[in-house]
Structure 1
Amino acid sequence: MDKTLNRFIADYLWSEKISDMPLWKRYLVHVARYAYVVLDDLAKGELTLRAMSLVYTTLLSLVPMLAVSFSVLKAFGMHNKQLEPIMLQFLAPMGEQGIEITAKIIGFIDNVKIGVLGTFGIALLFYTAISLIQKIETTFNYIWRLEEARSLGRRFADYGSVMLIGPLLVFSAIGLSASVLSGSVVKSASEHLPFVEVLISSLTAAAPYLMIIAAFTFFYMFIPNTRVTFRAGMIAGVVSGVLFQSLGWGFGSVVVSASDSGTYAIYSGFAIMILFMMWMYISWLILLVGSSVAFYVQHPEYVVPTRRSGDMNIDQQEELALQVMAVLGRRYYEGRRPMTAGEYVIRLRVQIQGVMRVIKSLTHAGLITPNGDDPPRYLPNAPLETVSLKQVVDAVRSEGGRLRVGFKVPRRKVPGVAEVSAHIDKVMADALGHITVKDLALSEDGSVSELLTGSNRPPVGEAGKAESAKTAE
């Protein structure tokens, strides 16, 4: 069993006594469970390791990415100096050092002349910029238990559009909000209605926080290669925004304020770079923690003290594959709408990673197929009247194939193993080869037991004949 952060706390948070508590206490325990699993993930060290990796990638890709992003602004008459307020806000916890770093980064961006780089230089600049977002996506996909990343074409299309159009939309929104708040209508209303003036001052003070929350929410909804609900992204954005402001205040009060006697005394001229890397690490860690929060909000089936990896043994995969095919078949024969992977999670009370693994196996075996919806819904890809349960089990067992190691000398067979394997296949074919997915999907209590025992065995169909012929061979 996986190790957990604290066994006593976990036993209390997931004890059966919670159901007897008042509603407000149950809600607090519910929130505490989310905090526990996120802290447990942090304690395991994978998130901190990936945050450090992103710091290194950021140092290499920050200037090219900003140069590509804000090159569009120059075409609309905007200068890189308009990037300065956003950079200063991000580096505010570093105090005066943040102002110096902001000036250097903007100076680097001003020195990047895209028009004189040439085709190869522009391509390299775009690749360096996109590689940072690709690294972020890989980390987010790990947190979201996703095995497939965006294709190369989708990366350039999605990331390129964000880098080129995103800054324009951000600055347009900032300019529009500023013009609205300083407009004549708002000014005249604030003169006659005192609460309007209070509201405007409150919105002006809250604008930086709202911008940070909106930026985090956008990251959580766009970067993972899956559909993230607005609720999950918004909750994670609020949590990350609060953490960013709180830890930023602590970093500026404790680390930066003590740098004259501490960091500067040790690193001298390199202290600014050390402080910048420390704050970058904290910022990336906050972003990854928020992504973990978004994942658990959208997939509460993972909010358990242990076993959050989604791994399943072969017996569990076989059982889940039969359940998926039975539910899919019943809905097909009843004329109901096919289900998505997320709906199978809710229906079968299992983790999304196990469902996706089984669906992938069944799809590769040609038993089911996704439709064109987003997210896709899964339909039968073969007549369920002829697909035997043995084929369903084989689809899971054969996924990935057997690893062949190339040696010059052929491997020696282990006596008896081939006979045992053949016997297992024969027994399974005799037991499941004559039962189809339709039989399982439309079965009632006890009917499948009769088919398994042979008391109500139907004539062997095409699937059963094929399995029997295969066994005889």
Structure 2
Amino acid sequence: MDKTLNKFVAEYLWSDKVVHYSAWRRKLIDALRLLYVVLDDLTKGELTLRAMSLVYTTLLSLVPMMAVSFSVLKAFGMHNKQLEPIMLQFLAPMGAQGVEITDKIIGFIDNVKIGVLGAFGVALLFYTAISLIQKIEATFNYIWRLDQPRSMGRRFADYGSVMLIGPLLVFSAIGLSASVLSGSFVQTISTHVPFMQYLIAFVTEAAPYLMIIAAFTFFYMFIPNTRVTFRAGLVAGIVSGVLFQSLGWGFGSVVVSASGSGTYAIYSGFAILILFMMWMYISWLILLVGSSVAFYVQHPEYISPVRRSGDLSIRQRETLALQVMAIIAQRYYQARKPFSASDFVYRLRVQIQGVTRVLLALKHAGLVTENHEDPPRYLPSAPLEKTSLKTVIDAVRNEGTMQVVALRVPRKPVHGVAEVTAAIDAALEAALASITVREMALGEADEELDDAARRGAIGIGEKIDTDS
């Protein structure tokens, strides 16, 4: 277990003895494993680096994004001042400085006059706003091991709807909850039923926390370009909400309260900006840690102290390619809906990087093709009754092959290697060239595969003995 956070802790958490523990103890070990891999990802520095990048992007895009988002509210008679409670809630750990920053941001938004910008100005404003969400999506896709982002059309459709409709839904939910809690019916019940008074007080106090958890959960389910289960999003939302409130209290108590003799003494007038950037960094880091939690909850096969990069050996890639082709063939002949890359992950319980790499190799070899859905689903692009298993194996083995660099002095061959590789190729040809993907997928070649395996093993042994 090399290249891990702590070798001894990893050996204990992933010990073979865990399977013999009681149920509650195994649940505790599972939670500790999740905590371990998240901390391990943090110590590698990639999440912190991306959080710093998002802070810079936020400084450039915050005002344009909020101006675009809340411009639709003006059509419903709402004013930007109604943003103030939400901004104050987010910047509450900064104390009095949070109030000052909120006033400045709302002032900036009020000064943005979309009607006088012109077509180019409005387009630039939308592009600046969308670039922030695009940057967030790229970071989430990295955490979720996804190589394929949303298409340009989906980005404008999805992001635009969130920026324009999202604020309206948020304010509607806040207004509805406030009207329900202050309604005459609820007030009458609370007067006659003492328990309802405590319940309403609890709901009123818990509403900000529930809104934060709901916002985090929405982010984790919407932003990644893959299907995120509600369970994974909710668990991550709860973790992020607790972290946000806890670290917010710590930031306000330790950093901001001590800034009179520390930060202000050093940075003077820039202290507010520095504190704002620090809190933005902490907030983005919380969001990314929660996304990592959601990923590991949905993909427990990645909860391992090593090899979370998804690298597969050549043999594993060959096996995965045969499994993928078999599933594609079975669903094709049964006239069922084809699989996407995520569907292969859930069906085979393998890591997404291996699946995408194998699908790319099969696509380059002309064996599979993508349909026009988003995300794409995979169909056969060659006759399965004529595609041999040797062709599938070759597609994976030859993927990424580079031409040998020409040298003035030719390389001196290594004795015996060419003969062994030729023997392996001949054995594969003899064993798999006559068996098609259709026969493998529909179970029509079981006996033939057994005979071919025996013939291939004997053929390799005889060839090597003869050459030696």
TM-score of the aligned structures, taking structure 2 as reference length: 0.89
In structure 2, C-alpha distance between the alignment counterparts of 1:69 and 1:412, rounded to whole Å: 65
Paired AA for residue 448 in structure 1: L
Counterpart Cα distance in 2 of 1:199 and 1:411:
84
Is residue 68–residue 125 contact of structure 1 (8 Å, CA) maintained in 2? yes
Alpha-carbon deviation of 1:196?
1.7
How far did residue 82 of structure 1 move? 0.3
Rounded to whole Å, the distance in 1 between the matches of 2:22 and 2:16 is: 14
Residues 422 and 17 of structure 1, relative CA distance in 2, 3 Å threshold: closer
Distance 1:8 1:196, change over 3 A: same
Q: How does 1:186-201 map to 2 (within 5 A)?
A: 186-201=186-201
1:239 corresponds to: 239
1:376-405 Cα deviation digits (max 9, x unpaired): 664444332211012112222344564799
Offset, 1:275: 0.5
Which residue in the other structure is 1:286 paired with?
286
CA deviation map 1:203-235 (0-9, x unaligned): 110010011001101111111111111111111
**Residue of structure 1 equivalent to 2:14:** 14
1:38-437 map, 5 Å: 38-329=38-329, 339-369=339-369, 378-400=378-400, 402=402, 414=411, 428-437=428-437
Deviates more, 1:364-373 or 1:290-299: 364-373
Structure 1 residue matching 2:387: 3-state secondary structure: coil
CA spacing shift, 1:434–1:23, aligned 2, 3 Å? same
* Separation in structure 2 between the aligned mates of residue 146 and residue 412 of structure 1, nearest angstrom: 43
Distance 1:283 1:437, change over 3 A: same
Identity of aligned residues (%): 73
CA distance in 1, matches of 2:312, 2:39: 24
1:31 aligned partner, one-letter code: A
- For 1:120 and 1:307, the matched residues in 2 are separated by 48
- 1:451 maps to a residue whose letter is A
Change (3 A) 1:423 1:17: closer
Sort the Cα spacing of 1:395 and 1:156 in 2 relative to 1 into closer, same or farther, 3 A: same
* Alpha-carbon separation, structure 2, partners of 1:148 and 1:330: 26
Aligned-partner SS, 2:58: helix
Q: What is the letter of the counterpart of residue 62 of structure 1?
A: L
What is the alpha-carbon distance in structure 2 between the residues aligned to residue 329 and residue 449 of structure 1? 21
Q: Give the 3 Å change call, closer, same or farther, for CA 346–190 of structure 1 in structure 2.
A: same
Segment drifting more, 14-23 vs 36-45? 14-23
Question: For residue 197 of structure 2, what is the amino acid of its counterpart?
Answer: E
Q: Which runs of 5+ in 2 are unaligned?
A: 457-468
1:227/1:375 contact within 8 Å kept = no
User: Is 1:451 paired with 2:462?
Assistant: no
- AA aligned to 1:449 is D
Structure 2 counterpart SS, 1:129: helix
- Say if 1:372 and 1:194 are closer, same or farther in 2 by CA, change over 3 A: farther
- With structure 1 as the length reference, what TM-score do the two structures score? 0.88
CA distance in 2, matches of 1:346, 1:175: 40
- Deviation of 1:375 after TM superposition, in Å, equals 6.5
Q: CA deviation at 1:244?
A: 0.1
Which amino acid in the other structure matches residue 247 of structure 2?
L
Structure 1: unaligned runs, 5 residues or longer: 456-473
**SS at structure 2 position matched to 1:133:** helix
- Cα deviations by residue, 1:47-75 (Å, 9 ceiling, x for unpaired): 00000000011111111111111111111
The code of the aligned residue for 2:82 comes to Q
- Return the alpha-carbon distance in structure 1 between the equivalents of residues 377 and 124 of structure 2: 39
Provide the residue aligned with 1:463 in structure 2.
none
Q: What letter corresponds to residue 76 of structure 2 in structure 1?
A: F
Distance 1:245 1:380, change over 3 A: same
Task: Tell me, in whole angstroms, the C-alpha distance in 2 between the residues paired with 1:46 and 1:422.
Answer: 43
Residue 216 of structure 1 contacts residue 237 of structure 1 at CA under 8 Å; is this kept in 2?
yes
Offset at residue 134 of structure 1 (A): 0.6
> Does 74-83 or 378-387 show the bigger shift?
378-387
Quote the Cα distance in structure 2 between the aligned partners of 1:204 and 1:169: 19
Q: 1:237: Cα distance to partner?
A: 0.4
2:465 corresponds to: none
- Whether the aligned pair in 1 keeps the contact of 2:62 and 2:129 (CA below 8 Å) is yes
The C-alpha deviation readout for 1:64-113, integer Å capped at 9, x for no partner, is 11111111111111010000100000000000010001011111111111
Determine the C-alpha separation between the residues in 1 that align with 2:357 and 2:411: 31
In the alignment, is the contact (CA less than 8 A) between 1:435 and 1:451 conserved in 2?
Answer: no
CA RMSD of aligned residues (A): 2.6
Shift of 1:423: 7.3
SS in 2 for 1:307: coil
Q: Report Cα offsets for 1:229-260 as digits up to 9, x if no partner.
A: 11111110000000000000000000111000
How far residue 161 of structure 1 moved from its aligned partner, in angstroms, is 1.0
The letter for the 2-side match of 1:6 is N
**Do the aligned residues in 1 keep the contact of 2:431 with 2:449 (CA within 8 Å)?**
no
Q: Determine the structure 2 residue equivalent to 1:470.
A: none
Gap change, CA 1:95 and 1:15, over 3 Å in 2: same
In structure 2, C-alpha distance between the alignment counterparts of 1:431 and 1:41, rounded to whole Å: 44
Instruction: Write the distance in 2 (CA, Å) between the matches of 1:160 and 1:402.
Output: 43
- Conserved 8 A contact 2:432-2:452: no
Tell me, in whole angstroms, the C-alpha distance in 1 between the residues paired with 2:314 and 2:167: 48
1: CA distance, partners of 2:219 / 2:164 = 16
C-alpha separation in 2, matches of 1:312 and 1:23: 32
Q: Distance in 1 between matches of 2:452 and 2:234?
A: 51
Check whether the contact 1:362–1:392 (CA below 8 A) recurs between aligned residues. yes
Cα pair 1:2 1:307 within 8 Å, conserved? no
For structure 1, which segment, 260-269 or 381-390, has the greater mean C-alpha deviation from structure 2 after superposition?
381-390
Code of the aligned partner of 1:174: I
Amino acid at match of 1:28: L
Q: Which stretch has the larger CA shift, 374-383 or 57-66?
A: 374-383
CA deviations on 1:395-444 (whole Å, 9 max, x unpaired) are: 22344564799xxx998764659977777655543442222223433167
